[in-house]
Amino acid sequence: MSKPRGSWGSQLGFILAAAGSAIGLGNIWRFPYMTGENGGAAFVVIYIVCVIIIGLPIMVAELAIGRHTEKNPVGAFQKLAPRSGWFLVGLLGVVTGIGILSYYAVIAGWTVGYLVKTLTGSFSVQMTPETSKEIFTSFVKHPLNSIICLFAFLALTAYVVIGGVSKGIERWSKILMPTLFIMLILLTLRSVTLPGAVAGLKFYLQPDFTAISLTTFAKALGQALFSLSLGMGAMITYGSYIRKEENLPISAAWVCLSDLSVALIAGLMIFPALFAMGINPQEGAGLVFVVLPTIFAKIPGGLIFGSGFFLLLVVAALTSTISLLEVVVAFLVDQYRWSRRKAVVSMSALAFLLGIPSALSFGASTWFSQLPLIGKGFLDLANIILGNYSLIFGSLLIAIFVSYKWGLQAVEKEVMREGNVFYFRITWAFLIRYITPFAILAIFVYIIVTKNYF
Ligand code: TRP
């Protein structure tokens, strides 16, 4: 008969693993440049609202679905809504997960490359923003570099996931997450004490609400779902390993709070440093790779802070790629009785193959760098479709599912198992039924109609 499924050893273990999934490049790399491009502090305010009224309720819903069914996303929907099309929501999630993994690991791979570069002293004292840009461009353009880094990162991810839920994912999260918090705090203290940091703090903390539009809401929502790992069943999967006596809303709140704090602190780390060096915050996706090395080159102890920073990114990205891989692994293990090892090896190999076009989309292949008709690179396109549209659509369907199909009472019963208190139960029910789905729907229709993500 089937082996017992894994489970988290403790509530703290789960919180660290789920926070590890949530906290990633999304917080430290994507959040600062999205904030920079979308008006600074005003974006931050809208982002926080999205986390609280959309992210948190969906997180509770996903965890409840997972724990109740003890299944991967496809199995979970099959169990709750047999003989219906709802399992397709889970399938969309599994496919989205491996797709996100494929391009996310490319950028995660760069962080490994940059860690090595920093340690070997590639960033010299004389470096200007221009030379830094050249180093970055030629690094990401080099086909073999990117592909080797991609491979290395997926191998690392596979190594942890093969270990299983408590002995692999949980054990590593317990080591990696505290490391991440400490490094983040040290780097932030360094950044805010640089001469000239105040202008950056102003940009980041003083909202100018004239700069916002509906697009700002759409971007903030996409960012929140991506950052919290919602909308594709990662939290259903992680929820399926939670023991019945654990309090779900409390765990969900801890995960959201730590994810939000890390994003907010990452902003405190990046913007003062940018303004101190006189660099434009609208630099875009290259922000942390181009800008920060110029700063590390100039400050005392730059080698240590620089290596610390890229190690921070590696750690953050690793606990996230682990969760992306775990979703498809759980799917194959539950549904098709594959061994964990076989699922891990074959799915990371698949992610590697799917990641190659993304790895080549920064100049190595002209075709993938600028797709015909679309004019965007492959990685950008994958990120728009999978990292935005699919997560927004998936979250919408999950909110509808728990409110109108599975039922709020069923969720409440699951949460209140073993005498647990459902804090803010009425608020949660109101949000997930009347606010969350309609807010997401409005934004989804808006981005489809205006094509504002393209
Ligand atoms: N949340 C992670 C980040 O911010 C990325 C991530 C991991 C993710 N698992 C996910 C995003 C599942 C969406 C869905 O970097």
CA 206 to ligand 1 center in whole angstroms: 28
Q: Print pLDDT tens along the chain (454 aa).
A: 445 689 999 999 999 999 999 999 999 989 998 898 888 899 999 999 999 999 999 999 999 999 999 999 999 999 999 999 999 999 999 999 999 999 999 999 999 999 999 999 887 777 887 888 889 999 999 999 999 999 999 999 999 999 999 999 999 999 999 999 998 999 899 889 988 899 999 989 988 888 788 899 999 999 999 999 999 999 999 999 999 999 999 999 999 999 999 999 999 998 898 888 787 777 666 778 887 888 788 778 888 888 988 999 999 999 999 999 999 999 999 999 999 999 999 999 999 999 999 999 998 898 899 998 888 999 999 999 999 999 999 999 999 999 999 999 999 999 999 999 999 999 999 999 999 999 999 999 999 999 877 6
Q: Is 149 exposed, middle or buried (0-12, 13-18, 19+ CB in 10 A)?
A: buried
Three-state secondary structure call for residue 102? helix
Where do the H-state alpha helices sit in 281-301? 292-298
In ligand 1, the atom with minimum distance to the C-alpha of 232 is: 14
26 lines ligand 1 (CB under 6 A): yes
List the one residue out of 435, 106, 419, 55 whose CA is nearest residue 231: 55
pLDDT the model gives residue 3? 56
Confidence (pLDDT) at 1: 41
User: Is the C-beta atom of 226 inside 6 A of ligand 1?
Assistant: yes
Cα separation, 341 vs 347, in Å, equals: 10
The CB of 24 under 6 Å from ligand 1? The reply is: yes
Task: Say how far apart CA 108 and CA 276 lie, in whole Å.
Answer: 27
65-78 exposure pattern, b = at least 16 Cβ within 10 A, e = fewer: bbbbbbbbbbbbbb
Query: Distance between alpha carbon 367 and the CA centroid of its chain, in Å?
Result: 28
Hey, whose CA ends up nearest to atom 10 of ligand 1? 229
- For ligand 1, the distance from its centroid to the CA atom of residue 319, given in whole angstroms, is 9
- The alpha carbon of 369 is separated from its chain's Cα centroid by a whole number of angstroms, namely 23
**What's residue 301's pLDDT?**
83
Ligand 1 atom index nearest CA of 234: 12
Cα 326 to averaged position of ligand 1 atoms, centre (Å):
12
Spell out the residues 6+ positions from residue 362 whose beta carbon is closer than 8 angstroms to its own.
137, 140, 141, 146, 369, 377, 379
DSSP assignment of 413-454: HHHTGGG---TTHHHHHHIIIIIHHHHHHHHHHHHHHH-TT-
pLDDT of residue 4: 66
Angle in degrees, CA 288, 224, 140, rounded to 5 = 30
Q: How far is Cα 126 from Cα 124, in angstroms, rounded to an integer? A: 6
